[in-house]
C-alpha cells in the first residue's frame, strides 16, 4: 500500500524482514538472481519508488522498534520506524526529534533526503540530527557508519537519498522539549499577495524557536485559503507576540493555536494528506517571495484543475542554515522556502490535466527559483535539462 493511489506498478514479491541479518539474506538473493530491489518504509514517496516494478520489495514495516536513552538524549530506531513511533518513545522523557510534518512518514526515508519539519529552525533538518547508521550494502555487507567510521558514506547518507543500501537502524539526536505552541491560522485568499510579502519580511526576523510553513488548500466552500502552520518551541509565555504578528498578516478566517505536545503537531496536517488519492508532485526552492514569485504562486492557485490540488511551502532557517555546506550531501544551506507543488485528484479521473498543471506551475516558478530542488520530491524523470 502506498500513499499515492496513482502508482499502478506492482512488485513480483515482497519480503518482510525482522532483522538486519534477514535483510542481508534478501539482498544477497536479489544480487545472485539479478532481481531489482526497492525498499518500503512509510510508503509516502509520491513517485512510487518503494515498489520496484516486477521486482523485490523489502518492506520494513515489521522493524519499527525505538528505544530512548533519556540521559544522553539519543534515540535508537529500527529501519521501519515511523515519525509517530519515534515521537511516542521520546515524549515521555520530555524529548522531541526533528521530524517532518506527518506522523506516518518513515523516519529513514525522510532523513536520507533531508527532512524539513516543525523544528527546522531549532534543530535543523532531520539529517542534521543523524548520529549513526546501520546499513546493508548492495553486496550484502552490514556496515555501521558515523562521523568517524566510514565517514564518506555517512556524508552521502545525509542528503543523498536512498541510493546506498538498506538502512536497518539509526541513532538520532533528540531535543529537550516538553511541549510547543502550535496550530493553524487561516487567512483569506483575497489577501494572498499582501500576506506573502509580509510573511517574507517577518520570517527573515524569526527566531530559531519559530518555524512557519504555509499551505494553500481548499476551504469548506471549495475556494482557496492560506493556511499558516506555526510551531513555537520556546517558552509558552513568549509565544503570544509572534502568534499575533502571524494573525495580523491578513484577514483571519480561522485561528486554532494552543500549547500542545509535539505528537499533536504531527496530527494537524494529516486530514489533508489522504491515502489512496491520486497525486503528482514538483518542487522548487525560493530564496524570497519577490513580486514575480508571488504572482506565479497566485496564478498557480487561480489555475488549479482540481480543488484537491495544493501548494505547500516549507520554512528553512535558523539551525539548518548554520551547518557548513560541505558537512553533508544536502545541497543548500542558505535561508529559503521549499515549495511543494501538489496536484491531486480522485481515483477514476483522468490525471492528464492535473499533471499538466503541476508542470506549468513548476515552469512558471522556475524563473524565480534557486538551482536544484528537494531530492525527496524530485521524480525519476525530472532531472533538470
DSSP 96-142: E----S-TTSBHHHHHHH----TTHHHH--GGGGEEEEEEE-TTS-E
pLDDT of residue 373: 87
Angle (nearest 5°) at CA 11 between 6 and 17: 115
Contact 40, 58 (CB under 8 A): yes
Residue 17 grid cell: 524482514
Mean of the per-residue pLDDT values for the chain?
Answer: 95
Give the pLDDT score at 372.
85
Count the residues in the chain: 385
How many Cβ atoms from other residues are within 10 Å of residue 228's Cβ?
26
pLDDT in tens, 54-96: 999 999 999 999 999 999 999 999 999 999 999 999 999 999 9
Strand arrangement, sheet containing 166-173: 66-69, 74-78, 166-173, 130-136, 142-146
Query: 206-217 pLDDT, tens per residue?
Result: 999 999 999 999
Say which residues have a Cβ less than 8 Å from residue 208's Cβ, sequence separation at least 6. 121, 122, 317, 318, 319
- Partners of 227 in the β-ladder: 186, 215
Least reliable range by pLDDT among 2-6, 271-275, 284-288: 271-275
Region 284-293: mean pLDDT is 94
Q: Measured in whole angstroms, how far is the alpha carbon of residue 139 from the centre of its chain?
A: 29
Q: What is the pLDDT of residue 384?
A: 66
Q: Residue 162: its pLDDT value, please?
A: 81
- What pLDDT is stored for residue 130 in this prediction? 98
Tell me what pLDDT residue 125 has. Answer: 98
Q: Which of 61, 75, 165 is nearest to 112 (CA)?
A: 165
* Spatial CA neighbour of 40 closest among 24, 65, 21, 64: 64
CA–CA dist 9, 7 (Å, integer): 6
Question: Is the predicted pLDDT of residue 34 greater than 70, yes or no?
Answer: yes
More confident site: 316 or 383: 316
pLDDT score of 136: 98
Per-residue model confidence (pLDDT) at position 72: 97
DSSP readout, 180-216?
EEEEEEEEEGGGHHHHHHHHHHHHTT--TTEE--EEE
Q: List 66's β-bridge partners, or say none.
A: 77
Q: How far apart are CA 156 and CA 153, in angstroms?
A: 5
Q: Can you give the pTM of this predicted structure?
A: 0.95
Amino acid at each position: 500500500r502506498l500513499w499515492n493511489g496513482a502508482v499502478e506498478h506492482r512488485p513480483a514479491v515482497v519480503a518482510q524482514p525482522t532483522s538486519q541479518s534477514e535483510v542481508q539474506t534478501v539482498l544477497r538473493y536479489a544480487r545472485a538472481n539479478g532481481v531489482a530491489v526497492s525498499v518500503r518504509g512509510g510508503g509516502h514517496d509520491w513517485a512510487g519508488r518503494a515498489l520496484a516494478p516486477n521486482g523485490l520489495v523489502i518492506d520494513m514495516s515489521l522493524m519499527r522498534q525505538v528505544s530512548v536513552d533519556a540521559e544522553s538524549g539519543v534515540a535508537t530506531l529500527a529501519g521501519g520506524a515511523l515519525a509517530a513511533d519515534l515521537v511516542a518513545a521520546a515524549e515521555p522523557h520530555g524529548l522531541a526529534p526533528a521530524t517532518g510534518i506527518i506522523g506516518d512518514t518513515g523516519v529513514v526515508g525522510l532523513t536520507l533526503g533531508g527532512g524539513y519539519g516543525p523544528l527546522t529552525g531549532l534543530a535543523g533538518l532531520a539529517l542534521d540530527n543523524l548520529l549513526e547508521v546501520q546499513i546493508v550494502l548492495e553486496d550484502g555487507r552490514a556496515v555501521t557508519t558515523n562521523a568517524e567510521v566510514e565517514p564518506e558514506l555517512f556524508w552521502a547518507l545525509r542528503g543523498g537519498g536512498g541510493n546506498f543500501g538498506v538502512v536497518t537502524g539509526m541513532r538520532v539526536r533528540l531535543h529537550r522539549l516538553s511541549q510547543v505552541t502550535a496550530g493553524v491560522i487561516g487567512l483569506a485568499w483575497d489577501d494572498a499577495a499582501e500576506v506573502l510579502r509580509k510573511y517574507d519580511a517577518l520570517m527573515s526576523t524569526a527566531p530559531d524557536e519559530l518555524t512557519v510553513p504555509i499551505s494553500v488548500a481548499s476551504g469548506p466552500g471549495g475556494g482557496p485559503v492560506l493556511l499558516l502552520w506555526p510551531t513555537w518551541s520556546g517558552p509558552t509565555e513568549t509565544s503570544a507576540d509572534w502568534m499575533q504578528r502571524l494573525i495580523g498578516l491578513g484577514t483571519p478566517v480561522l485561528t486554532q493555536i494552543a500549547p500542545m505536545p509535539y505528537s499533536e503537531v504531527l496530527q494537524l496536517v494529516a486530514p489533508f494528506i489522504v491515502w489512496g488519492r491520486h497525486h503528482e508532485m514538483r518542487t522548487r526552492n525560493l530564496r524570497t517571495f519577490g513580486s514575480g514569485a508571488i504572482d506565479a504562486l497566485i496564478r498557480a492557485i487561480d489555475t488549479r484543475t482540481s480543488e484537491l490540488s495544493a501548494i505547500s511551502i516549507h520554512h528553512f532557517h535558523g539551525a539548518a542554515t548554520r551547518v557548513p555546506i560541505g558537512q553533508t550531501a544536502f545541497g543548500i544551506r542558505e535561508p529559503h522556502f521549499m515549495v511543494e507543488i501538489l496536484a491531486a485528484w480522485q481515483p477514476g479521473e483522468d490525471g492528464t490535466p492535473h499533471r499538466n498543471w503541476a508542470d506549468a506551475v513548476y515552469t512558471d516558478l522556475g524563473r524565480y527559483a534557486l538551482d536544484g530542488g528537494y531530492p525527496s520530491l524530485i521524480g525519476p524523470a525530472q532531472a533538470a535539462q
